[in-house]
Amino acid sequence: MTIDAPCTAPYAQPSENGHFVALTFDVETTADLAKDINQFVWFGGQSWKLIADTGTTYNGSLDTSPAYGCLNDEERIPSEIGPAEKVTGTIVLDVPAASGTLVFEPAGSGGWEWTFPAK
């Protein structure tokens, strides 16, 4: 995880919410994902939320156009990851604070959370 991550895309724009947080993942799904009603894991920005240090959930979008346009296509993690796939990539989220807890909740797939900066 990189807080205030630099953008690498040639036409990148500044953050709308204040800070870019980049998360890089190695993701591997199993063939069993084909049995899931969705048949993929949605890794796009809509699957994320921010909980501030105060415990309040941010109501705005972390998936802004500047966040999506921060990286070149080959650097971004695919938005949809299907059964038996192995991918590596980065998602950039546009957050209003340099600390808090990011929560990833893909539909029907449980969830994970990361506190930043790491404590």
Structure confidence at residue 41 (pLDDT): 79
In CATH, what number is assigned to the domain containing residue 89?
Answer: 2.60.40
Domain that holds residue 43: 2-116
Structure confidence at residue 33 (pLDDT): 81
Alpha carbons 60 and 62: distance in angstroms, whole number: 7
Alpha carbons 71 and 73: distance in angstroms, whole number: 6
**Over the stretch 68-89, which tens digit does the pLDDT of each residue have?**
999 999 999 998 888 999 999 9
- Those residues of the chain that have pLDDT short of 50 are none
Provide the whole-model pTM: 0.88
Quote the number of domains for the chain. Answer: 1
Any bridge partners for residue 84, and if so which?
none
Mean of the per-residue pLDDT values of the chain: 90
